[in-house]
């Protein structure tokens, strides 16, 4: 019996500054690399405005797609436009409530920041407390860099993870607080990517070759791309495959490389 892979992942990036072009989103690329390498399969990335309805709509779509993992970034801070957790609560039908562990964490961070001279007061004002108000039942993911903790929540078969938008904080929480969960979830799935260069400069000719190889060597994904354009153009082919066994995945990729080489003009 084939094991049903637990891998379908969607990423939701929250932030108006990305939609206006002010900020180049690099979080989704970093998460895509990291999650793909862990065996996750990213099917969709969405960027939305800092509005509860927009965020909630994307969460509902991702839940409706039976995603195993949904990762959001952005909208966890203390300001009025940080609305991601409210949207998570709305999409999952949960109440918002103060999370005691998260409140302790936020308090501890501001005590530390005051000691370091980063802030004047360590008082837990309403906007600081806001960062500890979670959908009921959610768990806190400590933030080793900033004040806003990450959040994880099981909603049926889906793990919803909310991380801050600041790349340094997002990455630190992912590596230090989330890795074990994702490894357990995605299991031992193995992802491999190889790139080969070709002597061809004509994408339409290479396309016909790749089309045949895709049919002959199933479960290897092929994609051609020019290294640059001009007189000396060379096309390269990226081969990707996923599976439960590293040797088998490697053999599949090598099989496809041989089939492509056999068909390339000398």
Which of positions 53-72 make contact with a copy of itself (CB under 8 A)?
Answer: 54, 61
Other CB atoms within 10 A of residue 44 CB: 15
**240 belongs to the binding site for a copy of itself (CB under 8 A):** yes
The 8-class DSSP code of residue 66 comes to T
**44 belongs to the binding site for a copy of itself (CB under 8 A):** yes
- List 226, 244, 255, 264, residue binding a copy of itself (CB under 8 A): 226
Site string for a copy of itself, 119-158 (x = CB under 8 A): xx----x-xx-x--------------xx------------
**199 belongs to the binding site for a copy of itself (CB under 8 A):** no
- Residue number with CB closer to a copy of itself (5 or 201): 201
- Residue number with CB closer to a copy of itself (25 or 153): 25
- CA–CA gap between residue 15 and residue 73 (Å, rounded): 9
- CA–CA gap between residue 48 and residue 87 (Å, rounded): 12
**245 belongs to the binding site for a copy of itself (CB under 8 A):** no
**264 belongs to the binding site for a copy of itself (CB under 8 A):** no
In this structure, the strands spanning 133-135 and 221-226 are: unpaired
- CA–CA gap between residue 107 and residue 139 (Å, rounded): 17
Q: From residue 39, how far is each of 27, 171, 243 by CA, in Å?
A: 18, 18, 8
- CA–CA gap between residue 25 and residue 105 (Å, rounded): 28
- List 5, 68, 78, 254, residue binding a copy of itself (CB under 8 A): 78
- Residue number with CB closer to a copy of itself (226 or 255): 226
The 8-class DSSP code of residue 178 comes to I
- List 1, 4, 21, 156, residue binding a copy of itself (CB under 8 A): 21
- Residue number with CB closer to a copy of itself (137 or 207): 207
- List 180, 218, 229, 266, residue binding a copy of itself (CB under 8 A): 229
**230 belongs to the binding site for a copy of itself (CB under 8 A):** yes
Residue 66: both structure tokens together: 């039976």
Helices of type H across the chain:
16-19, 27-37, 52-64, 84-92, 100-116, 126-129, 167-173, 179-186, 203-216, 246-263
**214 belongs to the binding site for a copy of itself (CB under 8 A):** yes
**201 belongs to the binding site for a copy of itself (CB under 8 A):** yes
Helix then strand count (H, E) for the chain reads 10, 11
Rg (CA), the chain: 22
- List 6, 7, 8, 31, residue binding a copy of itself (CB under 8 A): 31
- Residue number with CB closer to a copy of itself (75 or 153): 75
**43 belongs to the binding site for a copy of itself (CB under 8 A):** yes
Which residues in the 83-112 window bind a copy of itself by CB under 8 A? none
């Amino acid at each position: 019996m084939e094991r049903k892979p637990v891998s379908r992942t969607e990423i939701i990036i929250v932030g108006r500054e990305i939609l206006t072009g002010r900020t180049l989103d690099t979080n989704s690329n970093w998460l895509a690399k990291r999650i793909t390498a862990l065996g996750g399969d990213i099917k969709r990335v969405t960027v939305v405005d800092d509005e509860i309805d927009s965020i909630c709509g994307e969460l509902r779509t991702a839940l409706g797609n039976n995603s195993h993992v949904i990762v959001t970034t952005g909208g966890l801070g203390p300001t009025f436009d940080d609305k991601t957790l409210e949207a998570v609560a709305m999409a999952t039908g949960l109440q918002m409530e103060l999370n005691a562990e998260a409140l302790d964490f936020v308090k501890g961070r501001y005590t530390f920041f005051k000691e370091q001279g980063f802030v004047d007061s360590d008082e837990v004002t309403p906007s600081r407390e806001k960062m500890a108000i979670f959908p009921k039942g959610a768990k806190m993911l400590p933030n080793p860099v900033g004040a806003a903790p990450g959040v994880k929540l099981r909603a049926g078969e889906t793990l919803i993870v909310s991380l801050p938008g600041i790349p340094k904080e997002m990455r630190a929480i992912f590596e230090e607080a989330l890795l074990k969960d994702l490894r357990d979830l995605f299991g031992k799935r193995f992802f491999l990517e190889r790139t080969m260069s070709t002597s061809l400069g004509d994408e339409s000719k290479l396309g016909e070759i790749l089309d045949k190889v895709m049919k002959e060597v199933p479960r290897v994904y092929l994609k051609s791309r020019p290294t640059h354009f001009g007189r000396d153009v060379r096309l390269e082919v990226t081969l990707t495959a996923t599976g439960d066994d590293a040797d088998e995945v490697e053999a599949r990729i090598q099989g496809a490389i041989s089939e492509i080489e056999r068909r390339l003009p000398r």
